[in-house]
Amino acid sequence: MKKALIVENLVKDYKGFKAVDGISFHVDEGEIFGILGPNGAGKTTTLEMIEGLRSITSGKATVAGVKIPSRSSRQRLQEHIGVQLQSSSYFDFLTLYEILDLFGSFYKERIDPLRLLEMVQLHEKKDSLVKNLSGGQSQRFSIIAAIVNNPKIVFLDEPTTGLDPQIRRSLWELIRDINKEGKTVILTTHYMEEAEELCNRIAIMDKGKIIACDSPQGLISSQGLKFTIKFTPQSKMTKRQTEKFEKHPLVTKFWEEKSKYVFRIEDPTKINDILGWLENEHILFRNLEILPPNLEDVFLKLTGKKLRE
């Protein structure tokens, strides 16, 4: 598999504070790659060093075939990448069409502004100003503005932060569409759901370091995390039953949550054994939820804290 991005021992030092502390990873061509981590983990700094927007203290990277840091390569690098910055806006007094037309003029290769606007159903708004767009619209706009040069790699810095869930989902669709066109997408996020649903692979970042890097499934299964199972009984278990259930070899943890019983098991394929045990004890239940472990659990296990704290 060809590599779109190779990062080796990248460091960003701000007067002794290591915002990025020697990270290495790679991204394959055609991937959607996510950098997941809490605010202040160093995600944006990492991205901006790779984009040529911030100086690199030490380490190196190869981005779309261009080696950085290098004095001469900035322009060549930016010719081939698309960048969406976190919370940046565009010119106040230019229309959507004009902004795309102008940004396109900075590149050798460019996509027709109208085609881009049609991609995100903004073609009827081509003569509007950015300030007249809704939050979701302006975020969609800033994403198409990042691909105005038909780049090989698109960097999206927290593309869905602050948007409501429905709009967030529509942006995921857009990002998938862009990826289907053959572009490698590298994004940062602090939403574990976003990373899990959208990304082929994820690097989990905390305090300037990458603490794990794999596919979402790989990350979850490699950590030996447990499934959580919840059920609502028709009548409460007796004390003897709960004590017995707690000692069941498959159950690793057991507690009550309002009207529900909650327990954890390591191997979800053994669920039938548990259900059989409940039937033997004549414990009937109304519903049953099986919750697989997620990236939140991975993060919690790796760092001892929650992702959004």
Partner 1 sequence: MAKLFIYTIKQLLRDKEALFWIMIFPVIFILIFSLFDFSGGVNARILVVNKSNNEITNNLLIALSQIGGVGVNTSVDSLDEAKEALSKSKEYEFNYEEEVNVERPNVVLFIPEGYGEETYTTEVYYNESEEGQISPSGIITSIVSDITDEMVLQNAGVENPFNIERKGVSVNEIGYFDILVPGIIGMSIMQSGIIGMATVIATLKEKRVLKRLSATPLPIWKFLLVEVLTRVVITIIQITIMLSLSVAVLGASIYGNIPLLYFIGIFSSFVFLTLGFVAAAITNSANAASGLASVLTTPMMFLSGVFFDRETLPNVIKVIADFLPLSPVLDAMREVSLQEAGFREIQTELVIIAMWTIVSFILAAKTFNFREES
Contacts to partner 1 by CB under 8 A: 14, 51-55, 75, 78-79, 83, 85, 87-94, 98, 101-103, 105-107, 149
Question: Whose structure tokens read 């309002």?
Answer: 258
To the nearest whole angstrom, how small is the minimum distance from the Cβ of residue 68 to partner 1?
A: 13
Q: How far apart are CA 281 and CA 273, in angstroms?
A: 13
Q: Which of 12, 5, 153 minimizes the C-alpha distance to 67?
A: 5
Q: How far is the CB of 84 from partner 1 (least distance, A)?
A: 9
Q: Calculate the CA dihedral of residues 35, 291, 223, 172 and round it to 10 degrees.
A: -20
Backbone angles phi, psi at 194, to 5 degrees: -65, -45
Distance of closest approach, residue 22 Cβ to partner 1, in angstroms: 20
CA distance 27 to 146: 19
Q: Which is nearer to partner 1, 75 or 134 (CB)?
A: 75
Residues written for the chain = 309
Q: Report, in Å, the least distance between residue 106 CB and partner 1.
A: 4
Q: DSSP string spanning 91-137? A: -TTSBHHHHHHHHHTTSSS---HHHHHHHTT-GGGTTSBGGGS-HHH
**Least Å distance between CB 174 and partner 1?**
19
Kindly give the residue spans of alpha helices, DSSP state H, lying in the chain: 43-50, 74-80, 96-104, 113-119, 135-145, 165-180, 192-198, 216-222, 239-246, 271-280, 295-303
Which is closer to partner 1, CB of 129 or CB of 211? 129
Kindly state the tokens that stand for 248.
């069941």
Query: Measured from the CB atom, is 24 or 95 closer to partner 1?
Result: 95
**Is the Cβ of residue 14 or residue 255 nearer to partner 1 in the bound state?**
14
Is 31 in a helix, a strand, or coil? Answer: coil
Taking the CA atoms of the chain, what radius of gyration do you get in angstroms? 24
Q: How far is the CB of 145 from partner 1 (least distance, A)?
A: 8
Taking the complex as a whole, the smallest distance from the CB of residue 41 to partner 1 amounts, in Å, to 16
Q: Which is nearer to partner 1, 138 or 200 (CB)?
A: 138
Nearer to partner 1, 143 or 229 (CB): 143
Phi, psi (degrees; rounded to nearest 5) at 146: -80, -15
Whichever of 93 and 304 has its CB closer to partner 1, that residue is 93
Q: How far is the CB of 241 from partner 1 (least distance, A)?
A: 59
| Longest Cα–Cα distance in the chain | 76
Of 23 and 83, CB closest to partner 1: 83
